[in-house]
Structure 1
Amino acid sequence: MKTAPVHLSAESCPRVAENGANEYEDYAELRALLQLQNPRTDAPAELSFLIVTQVMELYFTLLRHEWERARAAILDGDVRTAVRTLRRGHGAQDALTGAWEALRTLTPAEFDAFRESFGIASGVQSVQYRHLEFLLGARHPHALAVHERTPDRQAELRAQAEAPSLYDAALRLLHARGFAIPSELLHRDHVIQYVGDDRAVAAWQAVYESEAGHADLVDLADALFDTAERQVRWKQRHLLIVWRAMGDKPGSAGTSGAQWLERGVHRKYFPDLWTLRDGFAA
């Protein structure tokens, strides 16, 4: 049976601007964006490495936007907006983890073919990634020192380090809703990393036990936990890629490479929400 030809009317065809401009290209600023991929060698695998790096930085920027917005919503007591924002961020986190797939087959020989071209450049120098770690409460005492030669960036990160993390904001919310959060947790020095507190765990336990009356807080806790879990997954995938591409050789910025990543790969962001699981299992 012959298929009748499809005739498209003028109204059904894609529209273009009368002045000949490509509005899609202009909106996404593709002319600028697609001029930013400049490998330093002729190694075939370098372009994929470079593009994945740039894509991840874009997603870091998006997540920073979402998490700062979620933190503000939590501090304002707007739990619904906070949960929706965190869940929107989950999609970006899943895409970040999936981005490693483009480097999954990178061999040591392929990596070595261009590795020297980027010198001491390393993800540890990423300002946007450090914002994310600070928002998650990972306040390493030496993190700011990495950026001492760029004072403007260091000042920007210091402001983030001195601000409440997502979890600090959640503790303030619990207090505002009548749960017993000690004063020293509410007014602590945010530059010092939070390591967990049994009294905060007890407060979350009370939230879950009274779920009918605090369903929104349960949703918030679950959204925060899902955020933390996804960050751990991303770091685990990173470690596997490094092991595959360079084994245990030293990293490009003076770190111990995979060994350095391995030390932080099981970090439990928002530790009280992980400890809480111990009580449920008892």
Structure 2
Amino acid sequence: MSLTYTNYLNVDKLLKLQEPKSEPEEHDEMLFIIIHQSYELWFKQILHEFDKLRTDLENGNTWASAKTMRRILTILKTMVSQIDILETMTPLEFNSFRGFLQQASGFQSVQFREMEIICGMRSEHIIKVHADQPELQQQLIDREKESTLWESFCKYLQKMGHPIKDPKRVNEQGLVHNSSEENQKTLVEIMNNDPEAALLCELFVDYDEGLQEWRYRHVKMVERTIGTKKGTGGSDGAKYLRQTLNNPIFPDLWAIRTQF
């Protein structure tokens, strides 16, 4: 058989992956499934880009790193905009099939947790959530051994000749790296005197801001859909999500804003 659009993309298989659980089938469950499946595909692509980004950074490749960061930022904006589609579903429409989801929850997304780990976040609770799926749990543990984005960026700055200190992993919960006043002084010098490295600094801030925007839109979507109810997976729903807001992953890049 010759290669076609359909068999190259496995369209037949792809279109069979939507399996609503509601009985009788509720119309809006299809939208819910497709949106979340597309999120998982975007998470997969971001993880794919993260692998390239860290390699390019550690090799001192400025423009390849910048190009990859811009792609990641565009994907992130696309993910945020998809919330607009999900918000066309009213609370009544979501609750028409919510009970059929049982314990399934976006809280259990392994790929999103992998993204968080690469961004430098750690959570013992998130690891324990997957205790009944040891292969997924090991996947997260293995990710924790990899370089964080900030570690790779610091290696890049060192390759560019800047006296940035290697970030130390000091926290087992939350952001693994503490901010560093010493590194902040170096970053101020970089912003003033190294336009190429400064460009990457700003792209990192763009990503940090975009991730916070994603979290904010996510929590507001949950609040308007289920209010203060518990999440389907047993999480605290919007209450838990609000705790993730306003937690920058590159605090040193935010701290230096007052020094210009």
Tell me if 1:156 matches 2:139.
yes
Aligned equivalents of 2:183, 2:106: Cα separation in 1: 33
Contact 1:161–1:190 (Cα < 8 Å) also in 2: no
Contact 2:184–2:252 (Cα < 8 Å) also in 1: yes
Q: 1:250 aligns with which of 210, 217, 230?
A: 230
Question: What pairs up with 1:53-72 in 2 under 5 angstroms?
Answer: 53-72=36-55
- Whichever residue aligns with residue 142 of structure 2, its letter is A
Give a deviation string over 1:159-199, Cα, whole Å, max 9, x none.
2112221111111222333333335x2x5468661131111
Could you tell me how far 1:259 is from its partner in structure 2? Answer: 0.8
Aligned equivalents of 1:197, 1:134: Cα separation in 2: 20
Q: What's the Cα RMSD here?
A: 1.8
> 2:4 maps to which residue?
23
Tell me if 1:88 matches 2:71.
yes
Aligned equivalents of 1:190, 1:68: Cα separation in 2: 23
Question: What pairs up with 1:27-38 in 2 under 5 angstroms?
Answer: 27-38=8-19
Aligned equivalents of 1:265, 1:190: Cα separation in 2: 19
Q: 1:198 aligns with which of 152, 157, 181?
A: 181
> 1:209 maps to which residue?
192
Gaps of 5+ in 1: 1-18
Q: 2:93 aligns with which of 110, 115, 126?
A: 110
Could you tell me how far 1:60 is from its partner in structure 2? Answer: 0.4
Q: 1:74 aligns with which of 57, 60, 63?
A: 57
Aligned equivalents of 2:31, 2:129: Cα separation in 1: 26
- Give the TM-score of the pair, scaled to structure 1: 0.85
What SS class does the counterpart of residue 110 from structure 1 fall into? Answer: helix
TM-aligned CA distance change 1:140 to 1:203, over 3 Å: farther
Q: Which has the larger radius of gyration?
A: 1
- Give the TM-score of the pair, scaled to structure 2: 0.92
Could you tell me how far 1:116 is from its partner in structure 2? Answer: 1.2
Identity %: 29
Question: What pairs up with 1:147-186 in 2 under 5 angstroms?
Answer: 147-182=130-165, 185=167
Tell me if 1:233 matches 2:216.
no
Contact 1:161–1:191 (Cα < 8 Å) also in 2: no
Q: When the two structures are aligned, how many residues end up with a matched partner?
A: 256
What SS class does the counterpart of residue 142 from structure 1 fall into? Answer: helix
Contact 1:164–1:190 (Cα < 8 Å) also in 2: no
What SS class does the counterpart of residue 48 from structure 1 fall into? Answer: helix
What SS class does the counterpart of residue 267 from structure 1 fall into? Answer: coil
Aligned equivalents of 2:227, 2:121: Cα separation in 1: 26
> 1:270 maps to which residue?
250
Contact 1:162–1:191 (Cα < 8 Å) also in 2: no
What SS class does the counterpart of residue 143 from structure 1 fall into? Answer: helix
Could you tell me how far 1:57 is from its partner in structure 2? Answer: 0.4
Could you tell me how far 1:32 is from its partner in structure 2? Answer: 0.6
What SS class does the counterpart of residue 196 from structure 1 fall into? Answer: coil
Contact 1:163–1:190 (Cα < 8 Å) also in 2: no
Aligned equivalents of 2:21, 2:125: Cα separation in 1: 31
Give a deviation string over 1:88-129, Cα, whole Å, max 9, x none.
111111111111111112222111111111111111211110
Aligned equivalents of 2:184, 2:106: Cα separation in 1: 33
